[in-house]
A = this chain, B = another copy of it.
Amino acid sequence: MRDNPETRAAAVAAGDRRALARAITLVESRRAADRQAADRLLSALPQPDPPALRLGLSGTPGVGKSTFIEALGLKLADAGHKVAVLAVDPSSARTGGSILGDKTRMERLARHPRAFIRPSPAAGELGGVARRTREAIRLVEAAGHDIVLVETVGVGQSETLVSEMTDVFVLLLAPAGGDELQGVKRGIMEIADLILVNRADGAMQAQASATRADYASALRLMRPRPGDPEGFPAALCVSATTGTGLDAAWQAVADLARARSDSGALAERRAAQDLHWFRQEFERMLRDHVHANPALAPVAARLEAQVGAGQRSPTAAAAELLRAVTGD
């Protein structure tokens, strides 16, 4: 890790897989020196032109998400795309587990020369996991991956976070009885661009079709996103194991992405995402600044002790820290 940022950025951009893996490890590091190096590396990265397609994908455990991602990833890689698969799992820190962490998952895709798979960073709160994933997206794109799949499980706010860092958001669901429709969270229905009902094969075929129709009806009740083509958000059937419906599903994703790109909606969406990221980065840097500054750190420590002991209201303590930081 002794190379300078420009050398590292050049190695990543040249498609050096080891350099890419190391760069992601660097942005995932919590050491202050690594953080500085990571910020400089990120600033030195080239912007991909044309931009890559960022696809968010969520699904409850057991729905067949890995099988689906592997089938879709192989199809795209075989067609000449460079495909990266990243993951956001905010529960990995707590449970010790990690989606994509199991080495036996997606074995065939992992061995494909045009695919790159990276498990969720195992450390820290959701904001930190989200930041490191956004930075990993920039890195894999600089390395020439033109399709980036960001996978998440339906825990807490992770779906919202993933939809905030991707261009199109897909929800993978299992066939279900009609009564269960209400169990799908309204907020998730609202951010999904495409619902795929998996396991549309064999004995489940009919139930999958019925479930798809139920979701399609529910989606018609949602307001369409301004500027999206007729028919979106959409619901389709797929079978990750037989491959049925996979082409149509990808076509829907590509059609939506192209329409959003042509209308300028994609550029707007990315601008809004970058602004959001800017604000989050500012807050993170300010926190680091307060804790590294010899004049501010003791003030922050005292206020935290007082708040923790119930001697000071959080609001009053926040006002005092603000005065210390701004010098007012």
Which residues of A are in contact with B by a Cβ distance under 8 Å?
Answer: 39, 42-43, 47, 60-62, 90-91, 94-95, 126, 153-157, 159-160, 176-177, 180, 182-183, 185-187, 190, 270-272, 274-275, 277-279, 281-287, 289, 303-304, 307-310, 313-319, 321-322, 325-327
Contact = CB atoms under 8 A, between A and B. Distances in A.
A27 B182 CA distance: 33
A327 B187 CA distance: 41
A289 B91 contact: no
Given A60-B185, A61-B186, A319-B285, A314 B155 contact: no
Given A91-B186, A282-B317, A285-B322, 14 more contacts: A39-B315, A153-B186, A155-B185, A155-B186, A157-B160, A180-B183, A271-B310, A275-B304, A275-B314, A278-B304, A278-B318, A281-B315, A281-B317, A326-B326
Contacts of A308: 271-272, 274-275
A180 B313 CA distance: 43
Contact of A91 (B126, B190, B274, B317): B190
Contacts of A322: 282, 285-286, 289
Q: What copy number does this chain have within its complex?
A: 2
A310 B274 contact: yes
A88 to B, nearest CB: 13
Contacts of A270: 310
A185 B310 contact: no
Contacts of A160: 156-157
B282 A318 contact: yes
A63 to B, nearest CB: 9
Given A160-B156, A274-B310, A304-B278, A285 B318 contact: yes
Contact of A154 (B90, B185, B272, B327): B185
A94 B190 contact: yes
Contacts of A278: 303-304, 307, 314, 317-318
List the 8 closest pairs (A to B, CB-CB), nearest first.
A157-B157, A155-B187, A281-B318, A278-B314, A282-B318, A277-B314, A271-B308, A278-B307
